[in-house]
Structure 1
Amino acid sequence: MKLSREAMGAAWAGMRYPVVNRLFTFACFSTPPPLGSVVSFIWHGGALWCTFEIVSGRRRFSTDRYMLLSAILLYTYVAAGLLSFLLNDPRWESAHTLIPLATLFFFPFSYSIWSISHKDDLTSAAALASMTASYGALALALVQHFILGMRVEGGAGNALVFATVTCMIGSVSLAGALMLTTRWQIPMAGGYLAAVLAVLLSGSRSVWLVMAVVSLAILLVGYRQLRTLLKGRLIKTVAAIAVIATLSSGVLLSRVESLSANWAEMAENGEYDSSLGLRLALWKVGADRFLERPLLGNGPHHTRQLIENGLADDFDLSARFTHFHNGFLTLLVETGLIGGGAVIMLFLLVAWVAIRTLATSREETARFGAIVLLIFFLNYTLGGSFNLILGHDIIDTMFMIFLIAGLFLARGTSMLEGKIAEVETEDQAQKRDVHGNASKPIPRVASPTNIPTMTRLPAAR
């Protein structure tokens, strides 16, 4: 028996989202390194639409447990930021410092609509987009470094931000090469190597460390697949590594020499007016300001002034910074133990979900999602210890993209499947054939899209 017109309409409305969400996923993972803040416009535009869909009642709110726990922790941080602003000499001209909090507010709404998808479609889109973005990042890096003679900053306009997002995207490309059964494995592995070279050319030393740790973690998880991938390709791999070392050797040597000189100058002369010295001075200032107001912090609108005054008073330095070059310190100074503690708890939750999924699941998309969460965790905890965790539009947007995609793929429930099942159940209860047999379920329809689909290969015996 055919479904009723209303049921068919509801089912078709649900089927449109897999196409949109697959394209949206591809856009979110492919744009950060080469196009910078474009990813922020894409994701926030989508998040506004998702919020409208949920608030208007057109779509259902997801009840996934880990999404709800994450939303509670994020909203705790948002509430702490707002309250800290109001309790610490609020001024209208400083209200713009609260704008980044809006990004976190959209989290559960974006997750709910994004989950109206087939998980394997999102996995394919994320992996292929990351591969594409990695090659794009390298192309920009080569032009900016060797032709324009500038420090590599990609499309972000900031070397550190470019290196951070390229590290994250390149790591996803590596995860796709090792975790997914696809004919795109070799190009994805090449995308990872391209991302490594782009990160090295950026000269961002802290991200070098992050990428090394993240890469090691992914290789440990996928070491069996790595042996298969390298079989018969060892010479080509060694040659690729040699090319990367040659092209990046100049940047590596200059940045290491600079770090050594900074350390010697600070240790011998007590001079903090250097990259390393300023960072240590910022940490000292940040720790002191946190201890002064440990519960709710000083408010996000006072950070610049606190840094400027602290450097001048404690180190006789004149410098301006927007953060303490330590994301945890920045969170604690701005929102205290309540806000900063909520974000720390979120990281612990993400780490637990990733480790538990990798330990208990053999399902390909779930393990890929767990790797995405692992990349998220290591990047924002290790990298955030030297740089930012929250507070920059691209960094905040990537925070949302990786958290949503990782949680959904690893432990989430597809809202698409639930919607179709609900429609079928209602119709089958009303429409049965003369023999009392329920009508056949709706077959899954292939989604038209111009994104190449990863061809699944039979698993190796």
Structure 2
Amino acid sequence: MKYFKQLMIAAFYPGNGARNALDRNNGISVFLFAILPGLSPNGNSIILTVSMVWAVFCLATRRFPLNLSKSDRLVAIGMSIYPLVMIAGIFINPQPFEGLGWIIRLLPFFSVWLILPRMRQSPNGRLVPLFILGAGIGMIATFFLSLWQIQFGFDRAEGGTTNAALLGIIGVLFGGIALLNLQSPKKTEQRIAVLGYAAGLGCVLLSGTRSAWLVIPVHLVVFLWYFSRHRFHFSLRSLAITSSLLLLGLLALSSVQIVDRIHTFQENLASLDRSDGDVTSLSARLALYKGALSAITKDPFTGYGPQNRMTTVLAEVPDSIRQQVSYTHVHNGFLTAGIDAGIFGIGALVLMLLTPVIGAWRKETGPGRDMAIALALLLTTSYVITGSFGIMFGQKALDPIFAFIVALICTDQGSTRFLPVVRS
């Protein structure tokens, strides 16, 4: 309890002089943003929106300057090209006024211009550890909520997201972020790192999100790279024993969901060889992929605009199964971008996915750069892999999360050393 009392003081009462109010607000928003994704993704949208509006006011009243470096501007431009291309796709295609709602959804991608200068009002090395710690705490709370849902009749856990697939994406991303706190010299923070990662994996397994399962081995490679460059403050033997016990426990708790999802996938594969007219989740997605590819080849340069997305794709789906393909998106972020804005949309999407890696890579050499690269790789691989089989952007939770973490990656200098949140 003493640690958490000190944590509240560190997060909410930083006491660093004239910039105390801005720093305190930064700490609160970053800490809550890390905790909320699996519990209430709408909270992330609210935090980002409020941060953007307040940043506009502060910049207008010159409470802080628009101090973006050349690298920052490169990242912000990379983030902005995607929404600008999508907006162009809305207006150059039929029924542009039906696409006006999509413009609102694209606003989070412009947020780096506004929230990064605000984040810079906090000292180097303060916000990133706070975000990592919050991710661990949030994942632990989300796991218990997910476990409660499974115990009370949910086929797949959803946490507070109301969407099992979304919980899987959030679990694998924020669980991975939480594990980065293993390098903290504070034992409590180390425990939260391990439990937060285990809880994130638990959410992934309980949600039955198979695409998120594919991310786990890729993240392990990122962890091997990162932790090989930084020393631990604990026994590797203890970590191995604890990790093994937690893994066995997670497999036992989620075995029903794992077996069920594997069995469902096997049945879907077997149904592809039959011609009985049944449409499964897998066959529907394959039909959508073929329809999207066919549509893109017919108009590869301008696309059709997000307002005409599913109408266009379904027109390419065979009449015999069109009524049974009831999805509202293509289940592939790259194909979705191609439908919305053609090859320029795909190119803009690829650029945006690379911006966190570019921003991290351009930092000066040092521990801060290593941390930024690790965060960027965890973020980009999570979105690329899961988004190749489901939704990537155009979602009220995933868009703010991506934009906020990109800004956070740019915040610290490459020479910034990792410090625990509670330092006394």
Range class of TM-score, shorter chain: 0.7 to 0.9
Q: Distance in 2 between matches of 1:71 and 1:356?
A: 14
Q: 1:56 to 1:227 in 2, by over 3 A?
A: closer
- 1:391 equivalent to 2:394? Answer yes
Is this contact kept in 2: 1:354–1:374, CA < 8 A? Answer: no
Residue of structure 2 in register with 1:123 after alignment: 128
1:271–1:176 distance in 2 versus 1, CA, 3 Å: farther
- Among 364, 368, 372, the alignment partner of 1:369 is 372
Q: 1:325 aligns to what?
A: 331
Are the counterparts in 1 of residues 85 and 348 from structure 2 also a CA contact under 8 Å?
no
Letter in structure 1 aligned against 2:63 = R
Contact 1:372/1:405 (<8 A) preserved: no
Residue-pair matches, total: 404
1:395-410 matched pairs, under 5 angstroms: 395-409=398-412
Alpha-carbon separation, structure 1, partners of 2:76 and 2:277: 44
Structure 1 residue 187: Cα displacement: 2.3
Instruction: Output one character per residue of 1:100-159: Cα deviation in whole Å (capped at 9) or x when no partner.
Output: 111112221111112211232112211210111010111111100112434211111111
1:53-84 Cα offsets, whole Å, 9 max, x none, are 22444321132223211222232222222221
Matched, 1:31 2:28: no
Cross-structure match for 1:350: 356
Q: Where does residue 454 of structure 1 map in the other structure? A: 422
Query: Radius of gyration: which is bigger?
Result: 1
d(CA) in 1 for partners of 2:231 and 2:150?
Answer: 34
Q: 1:72 to 1:356 in 2, by over 3 A?
A: closer
Distance 1:187 1:242 in 2: 18
Q: Describe how 1:241-280 pairs up with structure 2 within 5 A.
A: 241-269=247-275, 273-280=279-286
The range that moved more, 300-309 or 279-288, is: 300-309
For 2:3, the equivalent position in structure 1 comes to: none
Native 8 Å contact 1:134 1:169 kept in 2: yes
CA, structure 1 residues 50+258, in 2 after alignment: closer, same or farther (shift >3 Å)? same
Asked if 1:378 corresponds to 2:346, the answer is no
Residue among 106, 118, 121 paired with 2:111 = 106
Indicate conservation of the 8 Å contact 1:373/1:407, yes or no.
no
RMSD of equivalent CA atoms: 2.5
Task: Tell me which moved more, 339-348 or 309-318.
Answer: 309-318
Quote the Cα distance in structure 2 between the aligned partners of 1:81 and 1:395.
17
1:219/1:272 CA distance change after superposition, 3 Å: farther
Query: Aligned partners of 1:48 and 1:397: how far apart in 2?
Result: 14
**Aligned mates of 1:221, 1:412 — CA distance in 2:** 16
TM-score normalised by L of structure 2: 0.88
1:85 aligns with 2:87: no
Please give the residue correspondences for 1:173-322 in structure 2 after superposition, counting only pairs within 5 Å.
Answer: 173-177=178-182, 179-183=183-187, 184-223=189-228, 225=231, 228-269=234-275, 273-313=279-319, 315-322=321-328
1:197-243 CA-partner distances (Å, limit 9, x unpaired): 11100011111111332233223421475795432343333222111
Corresponding residue number in structure 1 for 2:57: 52
Maintained 8 Å contact 1:34/1:133: yes
Q: Deviations over 1:389-437 (max 9, x none)?
A: 2100100011112111112236599xxxxxxxxxxxxxxxxxxxxxxxx
1:40 deviation in Å? 1.0
Is the contact between residue 111 and residue 404 of structure 1 (CA under 8 Å) also seen in structure 2? yes
Q: CA separation in 2, counterparts of 1:361 and 1:93? A: 47
Structure 2 counterpart SS, 1:112: helix
- % identical aligned pairs: 23
Which consecutive residues of structure 1, in runs of 5 or more, have no partner in the other structure? 1-10, 414-451, 457-461
Please tell me the residue identity of whatever aligns with 1:222.
F
**C-alpha spacing 1:19/1:275, structure 2 compared with 1 (3 Å):** same
Amino acid paired to 2:94: D
**Letter of the aligned partner of 1:84 in structure 2?**
G
